[in-house]
């Protein structure tokens, strides 16, 4: 079993709310045709959010929820390191629908889950001691497929997985707040594709992407990016994010996040017995 991590309190100052994508373009000259705007608008999630407790999830086998994604109309989650190689399917009201064993899989340190359509991707990427020469992502269904991966520059701890078409995107975790972005299209060596600098204490514990919205969470906050049309996730993450209008500190050891359709709300599920499923949504004025 991978050693348990201590709870972490973020100490960085809050990032200023900012529209994603940089400054405005200069006006076109009279002799040149006007260019269409390419900068995404500020994400709605970066305004005030309202939160609600959806349910206390009654799933005796789920004690260390570490990932969460919305797919096939359900929420899917799993246990942390050393737990069963099992997925838990929940309704969006927090009811346990079923437990789904993953044949042939081993939960060394499952840290996140992502989806592309009806296909689920389970990230066995946790490595607190940074000693694993090989990590893995399980692709389900039909039959579970283990995608073996390694870093080009030695082991890293990581807790966040995104799926971008045929590309896997992994974000490493560090209490320094610096997170490296790695990508791969299949088994083999990952490629380093960028770095996030979120500030001291802002360790990345989960991520999700849906449509043009990307969210990356730490223990206390959520960072938001908007993708341009046709833009890769790795490239979008090179811009400065804005910060969702809510604090997650009261959740305790919270590591998961799942975007809902439309990019105007997200769910979280912390560790612990009978964890509280919460939804955070854009406030209606």
| Domains of the chain, residue spans | 44-282
Task: Please check whether residue 96 is in contact with residue 90, taking contact to mean a CB–CB distance below 8 angstroms.
Answer: yes
pLDDT at 276 over 80: yes
Confidence of residue 262 (pLDDT cuts 50, 70, 90): confident
User: What residues have CB less than 8 Å from 186, skipping those under 6 apart?
Assistant: 147
- State residue 82's pLDDT score: 81
21-25, 75-79, 100-104, 220-224: segment of lowest average pLDDT? 21-25
Among 212, 218, 166, which residue's Cα sits nearest to residue 45?
212
Question: What confidence score (pLDDT) does residue 249 get?
Answer: 93
Output the six-digit token pair for 14: 């809050």
pLDDT, one tens digit per residue, over 131-149 is 999 999 999 988 899 999 9
Question: Mean pLDDT, to the nearest integer, of 165-184?
Answer: 97
125 vs 21: which has the higher pLDDT: 125
pLDDT at 261: 85
Residue 1 has pLDDT above 60, yes or no: no
Cβ distance 205 to 173 under 8 Å? yes
pLDDT of 15: 29
Specify the 3-state DSSP secondary structure of 262.
helix
Q: Which residue has the higher pLDDT, 205 or 83?
A: 205
CB 244 within 8 A of CB 207: no
Tokens of 148: 């073996």
Q: pLDDT digit string (tens) for 69-117?
A: 999 999 999 999 888 999 999 999 999 999 999 999 999 999 999 999 9
Query: What tokens appear for 191 in the block?
Result: 């490629």
Superfamily (CATH H level) for 44-282: TolB, C-terminal domain (2.120.10.30)
**In the predicted model, is pLDDT for residue 230 greater than 60?**
yes
* Interior/surface letters 194-212, b for 16+ CB within 10 angstroms, e for the rest: bebebbebbbbbbbbbbeb
């Amino acid at each position: 079993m991978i050693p348990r991590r201590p709870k972490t309190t973020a100490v960085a100052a809050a990032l200023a709310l900012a529209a994603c994508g940089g400054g405005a373009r200069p006006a076109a000259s009279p002799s040149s045709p006007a260019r269409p705007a390419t900068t995404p608008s500020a994400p709605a999630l970066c305004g005030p959010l309202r939160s609600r407790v959806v349910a206390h999830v009654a799933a005796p086998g789920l004690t260390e929820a570490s990932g969460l994604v919305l797919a096939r109309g359900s929420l899917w989650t799993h246990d942390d390191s050393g737990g069963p190689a099992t997925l838990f399917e929940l309704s969006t009201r927090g009811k346990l629908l079923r437990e789904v064993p993953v044949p042939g899989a081993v939960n060394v340190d499952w840290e996140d889950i992502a989806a592309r359509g009806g296909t689920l991707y389970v990230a066995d990427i946790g490595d607190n001691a940074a000693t694993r020469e090989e990590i893995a992502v399980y692709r389900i269904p039909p039959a579970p497929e283990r995608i073996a991966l390694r870093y080009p520059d030695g082991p890293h701890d990581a807790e966040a997985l995104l799926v971008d078409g045929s590309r896997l995107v992994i974000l490493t975790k560090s209490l320094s707040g610096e997170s490296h972005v790695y990508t791969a299209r299949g088994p083999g060596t990952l490629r380093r594709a960028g770095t996030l600098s979120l500030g001291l204490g802002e360790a990345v514990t989960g991520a999700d992407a849906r449509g043009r919205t990307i969210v990356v969470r730490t223990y206390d906050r959520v960072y938001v990016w908007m993708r341009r049309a046709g833009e890769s996730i790795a490239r979008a993450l090179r811009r400065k994010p804005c910060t969702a209008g809510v604090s997650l500190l009261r959740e305790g050891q919270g590591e998961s996040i799942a975007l809902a359709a439309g990019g105007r709300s997200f769910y979280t599920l912390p560790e612990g017995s009978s964890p509280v499923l919460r939804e955070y949504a854009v406030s209606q004025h």
